[in-house]
Structure 1
Amino acid sequence: MIRYPFLKKNATIGVTAPSSGVGIQNAELLTLASSRLKSQGFNVIIGETAWKQDKAKSAPANVRGHEFNEMIKDDGIDVLIPPWGGELLIEALEFIDFDALQDKWIVGYSDISVLLLAVTLTTGLATAHGANLIDLRGEYSDDTTALWHAVLETPVGESIVQHSSLKYQREWQHDVPSPCVFHLTEETYWKSLTTDAVTMKGRLLGGCIDVIRHLIGTPYGKLQHFQQEMIHDEPIVWYLENCELNTADLRRSLVQMKLAGWFENCSGIMFGRSPANRPVDNYTAEDIYAELFEELKVPIVYDIDCGHVPPQVTFINGAYAEIEVADGVGTVKQYFYE
């Protein structure tokens, strides 16, 4: 059974950094994001780790785990949103008290997806793959990003629809701030390996493949247990995004997932737009998608709104979803079914 938190009005956001904090050089971004959210009616409590950064992490793993535990148990905090991702969240997993997790949304992407997927697989608590806190610092958000709180306000038993964006950001321009944070200049087009319309149905799971692949073989990556005990062998739709892997490493990672049984009872795979996907000896990402399609015989779509090339749809790990893609336009309907 999947448990869905509910985001109430005027919620209190807890900001902790189980991966990377902002450090002195980016403290103003965290301050601005907090100010913007407060102006929208949220309360914001920022933990000590969020301000820090040294040696590729916000703090030692046990400190990160302890602060996360304190915030998830704090009745005065309703939702946890880290400032952004990072590199070494996986170090903190062994210090997180999975048995004491309250039903609160945990939101983020990039390295945060390690925590999101581990929580859902281990406990059945739904988690939200979407904007990090720093992405919410704009005077306003684009239509795709802005739906994050509407998704988290969906009651159990009901559904919510999101559509592909109209435009996406080709590259980050941190030195050129804009009112809506992202510089949306390129036309969005969700692609598939066929010319026909594509439909996928199943329970959503996913994240940044660079990091979630490292859950395989650990106590936090028991997918088969999740399938059997929590979703009773319903099919899975995977959403995956690639931050830094070249195509050979991406292929290795997908083969590892396949050999580990992570694609068993899979009804489709979606790949986000990627700033990486560097070809190796003319071996392209499209080649990989085609090979995976032949091996798994399931629909595959790519260049969707997910990951490090924003904006992104808010995907809920554990939710039942119906995805339709036709003529470059994607529609994602998520049902908060137990």
Structure 2
Amino acid sequence: MKKPKRIMPGSRIAIISPSSGLPSLFPDIYELGLKNLHEVLGFEVVEMPTARMSPDDLYKNPQLRANDINQCFEDNKIDGIITSIGGYESVRILPFLNTEMIINNPKFIMGFSDATTFLTYLNQLGMVTFYGPSIMAGLAQIKNLPFEFTQHLKSILFSNQFPYKYSSFQKWTNAYKDWNDLDTLGDCQEFYENENGWTFLQGNSVEQGYLWGGCIEVLEFMKSTTYWANESFWNDKVLFFETSEEKPSPSQVGYMLRNYGMQGIFSKIKGIILGRAKDYSEEEKLKLNEITVNVIKGEFGADKVPIVVDFDFGHTDPKLILPLGGKVELNPYTHEIILLESPFTE
């Protein structure tokens, strides 16, 4: 597994829009995210040609979006890449990626939601990628989120203190305030106390494996394509899944999980981590937990696979960074999730 070089304050970070053209529609929140990227994390910002392109032009030109990614990996003056926001059809850019060049020039690349397509694909080809906040969703709000979020970003990205024990954030939110209202730009909606952290639904042994996953709905776009992993890939993986703002029902999530079972994946993996489901009521969360265990344990007999729910990543905030290809340990006795080694080369 090829790891990127560590980024630091002063690194040149390229901004791409591989999915939606929301920076064009909401320039103020986008620019706030760029400002925070520079002021809080100390990065030098490089906007790629498609970063502010209109939604219509982006939709019509998947190759231009892929070209931006190719150029980022080819340019020795660019140290890393972060997506502006998600979307719904970045799967269309995959045929245009220069994967041989990318894998031979590994760099930090981070996004979430629709970025799942190229993050998982590049990881399957042998490179560590990063599932975490985007410019408009996460980084633009950084000064209004718990300070532990900033500490987490700096710990994962800048320090070399591993193993790294993940910690749940004390507060979390489902949504942001109106991006058209400059008076509340970067503010979040109601915060909820995170009293219990995440929960292990099952697991009776300490397991170690390699992270892989993303938005569970986006992964559906990739199944049965040439960009889906082969059978041997799933050995020793810790899968992580989260749901989008479209809020699939607990039953729909169950349908998606059942497909992984039918592929024989649950017999090969070392664990499953589910993100906090956005906009779910407590009743819906309990139903999702019930269905998850029923599918994985009840239907496919994977009763020893640790299952963690309500992990702090995905479409709620703050978001933890999960490196695809990073080795983690799941401990159901102490409820700890530990990133065992650095996802970077020093």
TM-score under structure 1 length normalisation: 0.85
For 1:118 and 1:213, the matched residues in 2 are separated by 13
Q: Can you give the 5+ residue segments of structure 2 that lack an aligned partner in the other structure?
A: none
Q: State the partner residue of 1:185.
A: 192
Equivalent pair of 2:90/2:117 in contact (CA under 8 Å): yes
In the TM superposition, residue 282 of structure 1 has moved relative to its aligned partner by: 12
Aligned position for 1:62: 63
Q: Which segments of 5 or more consecutive residues in structure 1 lack a partner in the other structure?
A: 228-232
Residue 214 of structure 2: aligned partner: 207
User: Residues 144 and 312 (structure 1 numbering): CA distance in 2 closer, same or farther, change over 3 Å?
Assistant: farther
Residue 200 of structure 1, CA deviation: 3.7
- Deviation string 1:287-328 (CA, Å, 9 cap, x unpaired) is 21221233322121211111111222111110110133568x
Structure 1 residues 198 and 273: alpha-carbon distance in aligned structure 2, compared to 1, 3 A threshold: farther
Following superposition, the deviation at residue 179 of structure 1 comes to 6.6
Letter in 1 for 2:308: V
Q: Please state if 1:289 is matched with 2:297.
A: no
Matched with 2:114 is 111
Is 1:159 the counterpart of 2:163? The answer is yes
- Structure number with higher helix proportion: 2
**Contact persistence 1:56–1:88 (CA under 8 A):** no
Counterpart CA distance in 2 for 1:97 and 1:213 is 23
1:81 alignment partner, SS class: strand
Determine the structure 2 residue equivalent to 1:145: 149
Q: CA deviation at 1:132?
A: 0.8
Aligned-partner residue type, residue 130 of structure 2: A
Alpha-carbon RMSD: 3.1
Specify the alignment match of 1:216 in structure 2: 223
Question: What is the rounded CA distance, in whole Å, between the counterparts of 1:330 and 1:184 in structure 2?
Answer: 24
User: Quick one: distance in 2 between partners of 1:284 and 1:113?
Assistant: 25
The whole-number CA distance in structure 2 between the counterparts of 1:37 and 1:221 is 33
Q: How far apart, CA to CA, are the structure 1 residues paired with 2:10 and 2:92?
A: 33
Aligned partners of 1:139 and 1:281: how far apart in 2? 28
Residue 301 (str. 1) matches residue 305 (str. 2): no
Question: How many angstroms apart in 2 are the aligned matches of 1:197 and 1:281?
Answer: 26
Taking the aligned partners of 1:98 and 1:209, their CA distance within structure 2 comes to 23
- On the 8 A contact 2:173/2:188 being kept in 1, the answer is no
CA distance in 2, matches of 1:112, 1:263: 24
Q: 2:254 aligns with which of 251, 254, 268?
A: 251
Which SS does the other structure have where 1:92 is aligned?
Answer: helix
Identity of aligned residues (%): 22
User: What TM-score, normalized to structure 2?
Assistant: 0.83
How many residue pairs align between the two structures?
Answer: 328
Partners in 2 of 1:242 and 1:282 — Cα distance? 12
Work out which of the residue numbers 297, 319, 325 in structure 2 matches 1:312: 319
Report the Cα offset of residue 158 of structure 1: 4.6
